[in-house]
Each structure stands twice: as C-alpha cells, then as structure tokens.
C-alpha cells in the first residue's frame, strides 16, 4: 500500500465524512430538444419567441412517449386563460416526435415528457427577450449595456447573445438543472425586477457533472455557491472586468463549496485544516480530471483558480467558451 497516498485521503475522509446519497438525476431515457440531448431528468432550454422546437427520441418509438405542457408566469397564464396563444395550440405531434412552439412573449413553459414506464424528464423552456428589443442598452429598466463590436478571434461564440431570460421575483427560484436555481446566476447589479440574464445550457451541464464528481470523491455537496454568474456588459465594465469575459455570455461561473461549515467561504477540501488557495486547487483538479474524458469534450472551456483577497475567499472559475484556456 502506498501510505503517502493513503494518509491524505484518510484525513480528508475524517474531515468531511462519507458523502450522503447524492441524486445525480440523470435522464431516465433518451430525448432530444432542438437536436440537443437532454442530459438530466430536469433541464433547461432557451429560445426566441415563436420558435419551433422539435422533441425527438433517438432509437425509440415516439408514440411510446407523452408530452405535457404547462405555462408558468402570471402574465403568460393570464393571456392563455383568455385564449390568446394557448399552450395546447403550441404543442403537436408528428411521425418523428413532437413539435413545440415557444410563446410570443418572454416567459417559462414547462414540458413534462413521459415514456411508457412513467419515467419523466422535465424541461424548462424559457422564451427569451430578443436582443433586438433592448433599446440603448436597457431592457425594461434593466441596464444591459453593449457587447464588444469585434468578436474575440472572430469566433461566433463571441457574437452578442440572441436574447435574455426574464427573471422575476416569482421565477427566480426555478430549478434550471437538478441542483441549480435560476437566481444563482443573476448579475449582482442592484436593478429591480424584472432582471435579465444569459445562461448557456452547456454551463449547467458542466456544473452538474463537476458536482457529481465532487460527491463521488467524498465531499457531500448539493450545490455550489455561484459567486459570480451572468454579468451584464454594463456591470462588467463597472467592475473593470475583462473585455471578453465569458460571464457576459452566460457561459461562466465562479464557484466554491460551502457546506462544512456554512460560513460564506470555501471549505477545507484537502483536509489540511486551513482555508486557502490549495482548496481551490483541489476543486480545480477535479475539473481538470474530467476535461480529458471524451464525453466532456462539448463542455471544453476555461479554468482558473483564485486565492483569498480582502473581498473574497478562494474560488474556481469554469466556463464553456468552446476552446481550452487555463490560468
């Protein structure tokens, strides 16, 4: 036995204890929305108004599945109760599966997809406020600002996002994936509701897969603290953020683990009895270990670890920029 490898692992186990049962909530059957695989039993899709979305079931009989639509959000529900843009009229079946049309205004539709065994997948579909509806950098009083006119390296990933999720006091606690809520990704600027944000589904999948691995390594954690999620260009400029910060595209999160104890800072993850950058490096190593997996390739992006400053404790930055970056 390699005692040098065993002792730190034993110390970590004694400090954290065995991980409680962690529900990964993987999708119980194969389903795709708009050609994208739904990886979990609860997930999120964003789309512009009046967009047709195909729901398909790779390798399976579409007739063995049922799709139910529920409209969420008081304004949308009021309209549909009056027969305007009813949910039923926006969902139909065809030989290859189902077609769903998003609403004409920003809001949330909940699709519950059930197979013949009564297993279900729930997809929250957010109809976004189009970028074209943002006037002079402001959306309904929320200051978004302006995106860089030139794209970084000419990459499409740095084009302005097509739209923004409208966040209200009522929907901010909506789970957008099994262990993360919409409000965790809100920009920190103090504008009143409604607020707006961009959020990439790939980021949600990446955070969920990192969380799964953290729990497999013995750290019982139900979610990360998202210290910084979306940043509007307005806010990013105000804090002297990077010109091409992936936070502005809803594809980045600064995270840390705060469960033992809950005290507003990174936990002692490496079991050395201190709260230092080494704990961010431990979390960094978890992400790096996943990065070489073939199934992780579509989640490639940036990774950086940070130590303690007067304004924050240790944390790790992760993003889904589409190419590898480290710092």
Residues 71 and 160 in one domain: no
Q: 275 near 262, Cβ under 8 Å?
A: no
Q: What is the pTM of this model?
A: 0.91
Q: Say yes or no to pLDDT of 9 above 70.
A: no
Count of domains forming the chain: 2
Shared domain for 167 and 270, answered yes or no, is yes
Q: What is the rounded average pLDDT of the residues 132-149? A: 98
Distances from the Cα of 138 to the Cα of 103, 191, 192, 234, angstroms: 22, 11, 13, 10
Residue ending a domain, among 105, 127, 149, is 127
Please determine, for residue 314, whether its predicted confidence score (pLDDT) is greater than 50. yes
Run of H or E residues at 216: helix 201-216
pLDDT(11) > 80: no
Same-domain check for residues 156 and 64: no
What pLDDT shows up at residue 73?
61
Task: Please give the pLDDT value at position 20.
Answer: 54
CA 135 to chain centroid: 26
Identify the three-state secondary structure at position 13: helix
Q: What is the pLDDT confidence band of residue 89, given thresholds at 50, 70 and 90?
A: confident
Q: Taking all residues of the chain, what is their mean pLDDT, rounded to a whole number?
A: 91
Give ∠ CA 215-210-17 in degrees, rounded to 5: 20
pLDDT reading at 39 higher than 90: yes
Per-residue pLDDT at 292: 87
pLDDT over 90 (residue 10): no
Alpha carbon distance 210, 212 (integer Å): 5
Is 42 part of a structural domain of the chain?
Answer: yes
CATH number at residue 116: 2.60.40
Instruction: Tell me the helices (H) and strands (E) count for the chain, helix number first.
Output: 5, 21
Higher-pLDDT residue of 10 and 250 is 250
Q: What does residue 40 show for φ and ψ, rounded to 5 degrees?
A: -130, 165
Q: Which residue has the higher pLDDT, 295 or 11?
A: 295
Placement of tokens 């804090």 in the chain: 239
Q: Is the same domain home to 170 and 315?
A: yes
Choose the final residue of a domain: 101, 127, 153.
Answer: 127
pLDDT at 84: 45
pLDDT one-digit tens code per residue, 217-240: 999 999 999 999 999 999 999 999
Is residue 83 over pLDDT 60? no
Of 87, 111, 127, the one marking the end of a domain is 127
pLDDT reading at 2 higher than 70: no
φ, ψ dihedrals at 284, nearest 5°: -55, -45
- Together in a domain, 304 and 155: yes
Q: What is the pLDDT of residues 186-209, one digit of tens each?
A: 999 999 999 999 999 999 999 999
Task: For the chain, give the percent of residues with pLDDT over 90.
Answer: 88
Per residue in 94-127, pLDDT (tens digit) is: 999 999 999 999 999 999 999 999 999 999 999 9
Q: Alpha-carbon torsion 48, 235, 149, 157, what sign?
A: negative
Give yes or no: residues 85 and 189 share one domain: no
223 with 308, same domain: the answer is yes
pLDDT at 1: 39
Q: Which of 8 and 168 is assigned the larger pLDDT?
A: 168
Q: Residue 88 has what pLDDT?
A: 67
CATH number of the domain residue 275 falls in = 3.30.1380
Residue 72's pLDDT is: 82
pLDDT band for 143, please (50, 70, 90 cuts).
very high
Q: 66: domain range?
A: 25-127
């Amino acid at each position: 036995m390699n005692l040098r490898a065993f002792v730190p692992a034993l110390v970590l186990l004694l400090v954290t204890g065995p991980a409680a049962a962690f529900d990964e909530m993987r999708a119980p059957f194969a389903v795709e929305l708009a050609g994208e695989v739904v990886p979990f039993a609860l997930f999120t899709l964003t789309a512009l108004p009046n967009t047709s979305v195909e729901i398909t079931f790779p390798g399976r009989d579409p007739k063995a599945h049922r799709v139910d639509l529920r409209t969420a959000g008081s304004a949308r529900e009021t309209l549909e109760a009056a027969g305007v843009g009813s949910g039923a009229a926006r969902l139909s079946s065809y030989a290859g599966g189902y077609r769903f049309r998003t609403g004409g205004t920003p809001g949330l539709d909940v699709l519950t997809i059930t197979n013949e065994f009564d297993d279900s997948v729930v997809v929250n579909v957010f109809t976004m406020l189009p970028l074209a509806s943002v006037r002079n950098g402001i959306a309904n009083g929320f200051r978004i600002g302006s995106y860089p006119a030139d794209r970084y390296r000419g990459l499409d990933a740095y084009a302005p996002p097509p739209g923004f999720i409208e966040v209200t006091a009522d929907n901010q606690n909506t789970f957008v994936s099994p262990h993360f809520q919409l409000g965790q990704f809100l920009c920190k600027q103090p504008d009143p509701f409604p607020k707006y944000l961009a959020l990439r589904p790939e980021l949600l999948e990446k955070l969920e897969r990192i969380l799964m691995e953290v729990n497999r390594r013995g750290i019982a954690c139900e979610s990360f603290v998202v210290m910084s999620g979306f940043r509007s260009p307005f806010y990013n400029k105000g804090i002297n953020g990077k010109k091409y910060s992936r936070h502005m595209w809803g594809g980045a999160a600064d995270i840390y683990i705060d469960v033992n104890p809950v005290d507003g800072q990174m936990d002692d993850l490496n079991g050395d009895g201190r709260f230092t950058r080494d704990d961010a490096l431990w979390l960094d190593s978890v992400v790096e270990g996943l990065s070489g997996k073939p199934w992780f390739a579509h989640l490639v992006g940036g990774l950086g670890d940070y130590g303690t400053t007067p304004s924050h404790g240790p944390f790790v930055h992760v993003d889904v920029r589409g190419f590898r970056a480290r710092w």
